[in-house]
């Protein structure tokens, strides 16, 4: 008998379909040398590879949080199992302690007491003081032990991460020595001097830094609330990590909607010109004249009314929040394709006048074949650059939309909802700053990594830069 019931949300299916498409694309690129060459240039850039490792860590968390299930109720009969209405994920199972250790209300990062005074019983008398937390620092007897315990846990976690990174470095060195048929000393000297064909020092140091940081956070999180707790006592570190999936979904699925529209309309307008170009220009000019926030708000409200009118279709809170997230991705994609379409239109106007395109047209080659063989391959670098550059903008857009109330479902974990909830927290006394600080730190890290990786991709794929290093 199964103790869990797998749940596949709409965004889950799209995420793993996108992952499969990326794996197929990687396989195809590896078979074509002219497609593989620019990616070799990207792989040789230390900044791009370091950013790629950070993005990889975010992606792993997002994928683990996209494997959803419903747990079987403990008192359900064996012949007719019943499952909880709460939809969990593999990431929830791995971080069950963070999810279940809920305090009464606010507590500061790495604190042992609540953030506000309450009436407590002490030595037979009722006094107003800061109560001890139920979980944070509960293993300590006295408050003066906290600093030394935090230091010890940080050092232990960093040491564990360092040892794990040394093990991985040893495995990497053994694999490279066997692959390159160099002596161990010669390979280590080449790695130390940075004379390998890939940025070995940057990769090793970044992996070590990530493992040491992860080890320190894991050790601290086992005894404290690293980033404090929110109004209902939930761990802010857990909320921040759960928000990663929402940011990745917004950035990737919105792009899936944007690309077909931008590529199709942009190339069609530039290649065919005439009345086709006039109609497409009129279309995106009208669309740009309508404030995007109004379109998004209207679409979100329509979806919300549909969800409330059909409760039998969306039987769980996760399903309702997921369909709203999907609708937000769709409407953001529909309203954000015009910029790339204009760029592709201008480039297509230039490419259609080149000699090899004119020769193909004179030999009777069909328009579809000319576009697929001559126009689009010469525009692919622009499409790829736009994807990686727009990703960070879409992540930030979710925060802004949630802040004004037309973003993702309020029950869904997202950095925008965290920032929205911090508005009143910053106005109270004393100020609760850590929820806003945690959302800013995670969002800043993701956006910075995406921008640095985008710079490496742009430098490698843009022919006007001439392979600049």
425 bridge partner residues = none
Secondary structure letter of residue 352 according to DSSP: T
Indicate the residue among 74, 100, 126 that finishes a domain: 100
* Contact indicator for 280, 268 with CB cutoff of 8 Å: yes
Residues 268 and 413 in one domain: yes
pLDDT of 406 higher than 80: no
User: Which of 221, 252, 271 delimits the end of a domain?
Assistant: 221
- pLDDT for res 336: 83
Question: Which among 133, 14, 33, 58 is positioned nearest to 449, based on CA atoms?
Answer: 58
Q: Is residue 130, in this structure, part of any structural domain at all?
A: no
Domain match, 322 and 347 both: yes
Mean pLDDT of the chain: 85
Which residue is associated with the tokens 């109720």? 73
**Helix, strand counts (H, E) of the chain:** 18, 5
Residues, the chain: 469
Strand ranges across the sheet with 68-72 = 4-7, 68-72, 83-89
Name the band, by pLDDT with cuts 50, 70 and 90, for residue 236.
Answer: very high
Q: How many domains does the chain have?
A: 3
Are residue 86 and residue 188 in the same domain, yes or no? no
Model confidence pLDDT, tens digit, residues 160-176: 999 999 999 989 888 88
User: What average pLDDT does range 218-222 have in this prediction?
Assistant: 92
**What sign does the dihedral 30-35-41-42 (CA atoms) show?**
negative
Of residues 469 and 426, the one with the higher pLDDT is 426
Q: Residue range 16-45: average pLDDT?
A: 86
* Domain termination residue (choose one: 196, 221, 246): 221
Indicate the range of 266-275, 422-431, 447-456 predicted with least confidence: 422-431
By residue range, what is the domain housing residue 15?
4-100
The residue among 390 and 331 whose pLDDT is bigger is 331
Percent of the chain with pLDDT over 90: 20
Q: What is the pLDDT of residues 445-464, one digit of tens each?
A: 998 898 888 888 877 776 55
Q: Are residues 52 and 90 in the same domain?
A: yes
194 and 240 fall within a common domain: no
Residue 237, pLDDT score: 93
Which of 116-130, 278-292, 364-378 has the lowest average pLDDT? 116-130
SS3 6: strand
Residue, of 426 and 207, whose pLDDT is higher: 207
Long-range contact set of residues 174-178: C-beta below 8 Å, sequence gap at least 24: none
* Residue 218 confidence (pLDDT) above 70: yes
- Listed range (40-44, 227-231, 403-407, 425-429) with the worst mean pLDDT: 403-407
Average of per-residue pLDDT across 431-440:
89
Q: Are residues 62 and 205 in the same domain?
A: no
Q: Is residue 414 part of a domain?
A: yes
Question: What pLDDT shows up at residue 462?
Answer: 66
Residue 132 lies in a domain: no
Percent pLDDT > 70 in the chain is 97
Q: What's the Cα-to-Cα distance from 223 to each of 232, 265, 452, rounded to whole Å?
A: 19, 55, 35
The verdict on whether omega for the bond into residue 436 sits within 30 degrees of 0, i.e. cis, is no
The whole-number pLDDT of residue 1 equals: 45
Both 212 and 276 in one domain: the answer is no
Q: What is the pLDDT averaged over residues 407-427?
A: 83
Residue 117 lies in a domain: no
Q: Which residue has the higher pLDDT, 340 or 462?
A: 340
Confidence of residue 405 (pLDDT cuts 50, 70, 90): confident
Residues 435 and 377 occupy one common structural domain: yes
pLDDT at 391: 79
For residue 8, give the nearest of 67, 93, 71 by alpha carbon. Answer: 67
Residues 293 and 419 in one domain: yes
Residues 181 and 287 in one domain: no
Q: Is residue 290 part of a domain?
A: yes
Q: Which of 229, 240, 237 is nearest to 399 (CA)?
A: 240
Phi, psi of 232 (to 5 degrees): -95, 10
241 pLDDT exceeds 90? yes
Shared domain check, 195 and 52: no
466 pLDDT above the threshold of 70: no
Count of CB atoms situated within 10 Å of the CB of 253: 23
Residue 434 forms part of a structural domain? yes
Classify residue 227: in a domain, yes or no: no
Is pLDDT above 90 for 153? yes
> Are 229 and 137 within 8 A, CB to CB?
no
How far is Cα 70 from Cα 81, in angstroms, rounded to an integer?
12
Q: Could you tell me the pTM of the whole model?
A: 0.88
pLDDT, one tens digit per residue, over 290-318 is 777 778 888 878 888 888 787 777 777 78
According to DSSP, the residues that pair with 6 across neighbouring strands are 69
CATH, residue 334:
1.10.3720.10
Residues 268 and 415 both lie in one domain? yes
Confidence of residue 2 (pLDDT cuts 50, 70, 90): low
Question: Is residue 228 one of the residues assigned to a domain?
Answer: no
Tens of pLDDT, residue by residue over 59-96, are 999 999 999 998 888 777 767 778 888 888 999 999 98
């Amino acid at each position: 008998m199964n103790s869990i019931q797998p749940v596949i949300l709409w965004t889950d299916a799209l995420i793993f379909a996108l992952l499969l498409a990326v794996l197929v694309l990687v396989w195809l690129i590896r078979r074509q040398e002219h497609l593989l060459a620019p990616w070799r240039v990207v792989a040789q850039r230390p900044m791009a590879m370091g950013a790629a490792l950070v993005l990889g860590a975010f992606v792993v968390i997002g994928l683990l949080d996209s494997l959803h299930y419903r747990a079987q109720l403990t008192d359900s009969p064996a012949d007719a199992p019943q499952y909880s209405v709460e939809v969990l994920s593999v990431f929830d199972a791995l971080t069950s302690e963070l999810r279940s250790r809920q305090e009464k209300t606010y507590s500061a990062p790495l604190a042992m007491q609540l953030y506000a005074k309450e009436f407590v019983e002490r030595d037979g008398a009722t006094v107003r003081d800061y109560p001890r937390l139920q979980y944070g620092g509960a293993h300590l007897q006295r408050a003066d032990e906290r600093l030394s315990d935090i230091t010890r846990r940080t050092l232990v976690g960093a040491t564990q991460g360092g040892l794990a990174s040394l093990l991985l470095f040893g495995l990497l060195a053994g694999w490279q020595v066997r692959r390159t048929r160099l002596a161990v000393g010669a390979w280590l000297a080449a790695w130390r001097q940075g004379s390998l064909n890939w940025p070995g020092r940057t990769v090793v140091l970044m992996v070590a830094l990530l493992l040491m940081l992860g080890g320190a956070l894991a050790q601290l999180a086992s005894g404290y609330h690293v980033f404090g707790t929110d109004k209902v006592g939930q761990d802010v570190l857990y909320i921040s990590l759960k928000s990663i999936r929402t940011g990745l979904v917004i950035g990737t699925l919105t792009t899936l909607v944007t690309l077909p529209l931008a590529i199709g309309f942009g190339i069609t307008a530039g290649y065919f010109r005439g009345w086709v170009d006039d109609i497409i220009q009129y279309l995106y000019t009208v669309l740009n004249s309508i404030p995007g926030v109004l379109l998004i708000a209207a679409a979100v409200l329509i979806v919300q009314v549909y969800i409330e009118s059909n409760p039998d279709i969306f039987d769980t809170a996760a399903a309702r929040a997921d369909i709203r997230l999907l609708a937000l991705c769709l409407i953001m994609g529909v309203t954000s394709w015009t910029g790339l379409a204009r760029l592709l239109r201008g480039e297509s106007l230039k490419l259609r006048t080149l000699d090899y395109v004119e020769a193909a047209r004179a030999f009777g080659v069909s328009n579809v074949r000319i576009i697929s063989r001559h126009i689009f391959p010469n525009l692919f670098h622009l499409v790829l650059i736009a994807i990686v550059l727009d990703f960070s903008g879409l992540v930030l857009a979710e925060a802004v939309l949630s802040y004004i109330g037309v973003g993702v479902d309020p029950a869904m974990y997202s950095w925008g909802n965290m920032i929205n909830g911090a508005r009143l927290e910053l106005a109270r006394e004393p100020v609760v700053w850590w929820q806003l600080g945690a959302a800013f730190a995670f969002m800043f890290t993701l956006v910075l990594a995406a921008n640095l990786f985008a710079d490496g991709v742009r430098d490698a794929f843009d022919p006007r830069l001439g392979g600049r290093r």
